[in-house]
């Protein structure tokens, strides 16, 4: 029995594989979706964005045999919510939710993101015809509270995390990465400080499991100390190197030397170029 009396919950993580961009030159990070399930029902956090991955995620949900009630979207980037329409068609009991701020972000950026994603992924991308509903209170699963942490800044703002106290799980979207180069190219030094402080806040909650929005498929979600240390270290190292480097190439070289095993170097090149836009 768990603390609040119901049967314990479980979590299963799906990771969509590294995706090659249409131009053949870049790759997109492996992206996670987390299924939290009890005896009969399930809640999904983040929905993938490419047809083959949404299909494989749906197959995983089907294998679990629980009734999907809710898809929670952590933030408004397409890679985390584009799959909602396909998934709600396949699982008609499910409704998609996000915070007011995230829904506003999705509406405001819908056209821009659609153009960007079509350019990056062509016919593989699943453009949704739905927008998540605004979640009023927190969510719940079989009597267990699932609380929403409205943290603000991660790679974009607003960003949120879902906390599942019954199993000490946090699903933080792109606030935290696991073995993958982080997207620092959509914000600047002030936002990086806020992002770092938000990671600190999550760390102080001492979760036992944390599922990064972008992670190496084989990386453990339970090595929480390592995950937090690497995420904070990467933000700090990139911020320091961004000040000292004199070119995007130099910035890439410095960070690659510190994080030689991290996946998807395309993100690092993107972030570095955004600091030196006229030099590349
Ligand atoms: Zn993402």
Where are the domains positioned within the chain? 10-275
Measured between alpha carbons, how far is 96 from 131 in angstroms, rounded to an integer?
A: 8
Measured between alpha carbons, how far is 229 from 190 in angstroms, rounded to an integer?
A: 20
167, burial (CB in 10 Å: exposed 0-12, middle 13-18, buried 19+): middle
Confidence at 97, pLDDT banded by 50, 70, 90: very high
pTM of the predicted model, to two decimals? 0.95
The answer to whether 141 and 38 are in contact (CB under 8 A) is yes
Percentage of residues in the chain with pLDDT exceeding 90? 93
Q: Per-residue pLDDT tens for 202-246?
A: 999 999 999 999 999 999 999 999 999 999 999 999 999 999 999
If we measure between CA atoms, which residue out of 53, 49, 74, 30 comes closest to residue 262?
A: 30
Measured between alpha carbons, how far is 139 from 85 in angstroms, rounded to an integer?
A: 20
- Could you tell me the distance, in angstroms and rounded to a whole number, from the CA of residue 236 to the centre of ligand 1? 20
Q: Is the pLDDT of residue 1 over 50?
A: no
- Could you tell me the distance, in angstroms and rounded to a whole number, from the CA of residue 216 to the centre of ligand 1? 13
- Classify the phi-psi angles of 95: left when phi > 0, otherwise alpha if psi is within -120 to 50, otherwise beta: beta
* pLDDT in the model for residue 221: 98
- Could you tell me the distance, in angstroms and rounded to a whole number, from the CA of residue 65 to the centre of ligand 1? 27
* pLDDT in the model for residue 278: 62
10-275 is classed CATH 3.90.1150.10: no
Average pLDDT over residues 72-91: 98
- Could you tell me the distance, in angstroms and rounded to a whole number, from the CA of residue 182 to the centre of ligand 1? 9
If we measure between CA atoms, which residue out of 190, 198, 193 comes closest to residue 174?
A: 198
Q: Per-residue pLDDT tens for 140-151?
A: 999 999 999 999
- Could you tell me the distance, in angstroms and rounded to a whole number, from the CA of residue 82 to the centre of ligand 1? 11
* pLDDT in the model for residue 7: 65
- Could you tell me the distance, in angstroms and rounded to a whole number, from the CA of residue 72 to the centre of ligand 1? 14
- Could you tell me the distance, in angstroms and rounded to a whole number, from the CA of residue 3 to the centre of ligand 1? 32
- Could you tell me the distance, in angstroms and rounded to a whole number, from the CA of residue 32 to the centre of ligand 1? 9
- Could you tell me the distance, in angstroms and rounded to a whole number, from the CA of residue 4 to the centre of ligand 1? 32
If we measure between CA atoms, which residue out of 209, 212, 259 comes closest to residue 233?
A: 259
Q: Is the pLDDT of residue 2 over 50?
A: no
CA dihedral 186, 190, 196, 201 (to 10 degrees): -110
Average pLDDT over residues 19-26: 94
Mean pLDDT of the residues in the chain: 95
Residue 162: which residues within 8 A CB-CB, separation 6 or more?
A: 45, 72, 74, 139, 146, 147, 148, 149, 170, 171
Q: How many CB atoms lie within 10 A of CB 261?
A: 6
């Amino acid at each position: 029995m768990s603390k609040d009396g119901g049967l314990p919950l479980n979590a299963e993580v799906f990771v969509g594989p590294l995706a090659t961009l249409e131009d053949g030159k870049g790759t997109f990070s492996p992206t996670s979706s987390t299924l939290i399930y009890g005896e009969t029902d399930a809640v999904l956090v983040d929905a993938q964005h490419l047809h083959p991955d949404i299909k494989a995620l749906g197959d995983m949900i089907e294998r679990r045999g629980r009734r999907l009630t809710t898809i929670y979207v952590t933030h408004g980037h397409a890679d985390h919510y584009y799959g909602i329409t396909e998934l709600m068609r396949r699982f008609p009991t499910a409704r998609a939710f996000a915070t007011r701020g995230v829904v506003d972000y999705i509406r405001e950026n819908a056209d821009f993101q659609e153009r960007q994603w079509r350019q990056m992924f062509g016919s593989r991308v699943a453009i949704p015809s739905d927008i998540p509903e605004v979640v009023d209170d927190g969510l719940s699963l079989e009597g267990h509270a699932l609380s929403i942490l409205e943290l603000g800044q991660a790679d974009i703002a607003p960003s949120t995390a879902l906390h599942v106290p019954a199993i000490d799980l946090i699903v933080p979207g792109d606030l935290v990465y696991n073995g993958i180069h982080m997207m620092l190219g959509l914000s600047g030094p002030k936002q990086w400080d806020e992002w770092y402080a938000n990671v600190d806040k999550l760390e102080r909650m001492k979760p036992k499991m944390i599922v990064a929005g972008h992670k190496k498929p084989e990386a453990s979600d339970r090595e929480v100390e390592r995950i937090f240390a690497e995420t904070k270290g990467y933000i700090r190292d990139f911020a320091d190197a961004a000040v000292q480097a004199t070119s995007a190439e130099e910035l890439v070289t410095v960070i690659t030397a510190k994080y030689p095993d991290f996946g998807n170097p395309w993100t690092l090149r993107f972030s570095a170029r955004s600091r030196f836009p006229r030099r590349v």
